[in-house]
Amino acid sequence: MNDNNKLKGKKILITAGAQGIGESITRHFIDSGAHVAIHYFSSADTANQLTEYAIGKGQKAIAVSGDLTKEADAQAMVEKTVEALGGLDILINNAGSLVARKLLSEMEAEFWQKVMDINLTSMMFVTRAASPYLAKNDNSSIVNLASLAGRKGGHPGSLAYSTSKGAILTLTRALSAELGPQGIRVNAVAPGLILGTSFHNTHTTKESAATTTAGIPIQRAGNADDVARAVLYLASEYDGFITGATLDINGGVYNM
């Protein structure tokens, strides 16, 4: 991948940056010449490999562990990032999970809250911790990972997940208005069926994936690189005019 000159030397924090879509996003940033902080929760080996890859290319990199549903961990992660990289230009809020499929009739309050904490509250914690550092630049950028489920409501059993992802669309718009005067743009991407990731390997059957793929106008599922390229585009437009927007990445299944 050729260097993206607008990203070369930029300081990036990617949450859950060592697995699935996050790993692809991190690799694309490294290949674009950026310095990276790679947050992980359980993927220590991959996070360390990515760190070594970036350092081998002459770029700064750090792997940072943490449970982002805990405010103290989110704050510590941001502080370690700024210390290691010397600042922060771009935040990629990628951490999130379906956790499990539960119908409304099966929904316990504890499960509902867990999904909201993982997908939504953690994003608020990280963004609140990072925004003062992002505001120190003339232009900064945040990209949030939402989902097609947040647009359409998802498949049965994804009620809590879909609701949290829909809230991220609203959070993105609200943050763009609040943080815009500080020179911070805030956008989101909403991926559809992205195969080859642990998310769908865990939560999507082969039969369900085949049925969904058959209904995609361009007749294929997405992959992690499809999402990473879109994230890098929005991130690299840190001095651009796009903010409060959601870029849908779904092969034409949903558009508006």
Candidates 196, 190, 100; CA nearest to 153 is 190
Q: What is the pTM of this model?
A: 0.94
Contact 67, 77 (CB under 8 A): no
* Residue percentage of the chain with pLDDT more than 90: 84
In terms of DSSP H, where are the helices of the chain? Answer: 20-31, 44-56, 71-85, 109-116, 122-134, 148-152, 159-179, 198-203, 206-214, 224-236
User: How far is it, in rounded angstroms, from Cα 72 to Cα 77?
Assistant: 9
- pLDDT tens for each residue of 74-130: 999 999 999 999 999 999 999 999 999 999 999 999 999 999 999 999 999 999 999
d(C-alpha 248, C-alpha 175), whole Å: 19
Mean pLDDT of 236-248: 94
Q: Which are the catalytic amino acids?
A: 161
Q: What count of other Cβ atoms lies within 10 Å of the Cβ of residue 153?
A: 14
> Residue 79 CA to chain centroid, in angstroms?
19
Residue 242 has pLDDT above 80, yes or no: yes
Sign for the pseudo-dihedral over CA of 88, 64, 78, 97: positive
Q: Which of 24-33, 145-154, 167-176, 214-223 has the lowest mean pLDDT?
A: 214-223
| Cα–Cα distance for residue pair 148/220, rounded to 1 Å | 16
Reported as a pLDDT band with limits 50, 70 and 90, residue 38 is very high
pLDDT score recorded for residue 203: 52
Mean pLDDT, rounded, of the chain = 93
pLDDT band at residue 199 under the 50/70/90 scheme: low
Centre a 10 Å sphere on the Cβ of residue 252 and count the other Cβ atoms it contains.
12
Q: What pLDDT, on the 0 to 100 scale, is given for residue 1?
A: 45
Which token pair is 11?
């300081």
Strands 184-191 and 246-249: parallel
Q: If you average pLDDT over residues 160-189, what whole number do you get?
A: 98
Coil, helix or strand for 249?
A: strand
Side-chain-facing half-sphere of 238: CA atoms under 13 Å: 27
| 218 class by beta-carbon count within 10 Å (0-12 exposed, 13-18 middle, 19+ buried) | exposed
Res 206: pLDDT: 76
Q: Which residue has the higher pLDDT, 154 or 1?
A: 154
Q: In what order do the strands lie in the sheet with 184-191?
A: 61-65, 35-40, 11-14, 90-93, 140-145, 184-191, 246-249
Q: Is residue 202 predicted with pLDDT exceeding 80?
A: no
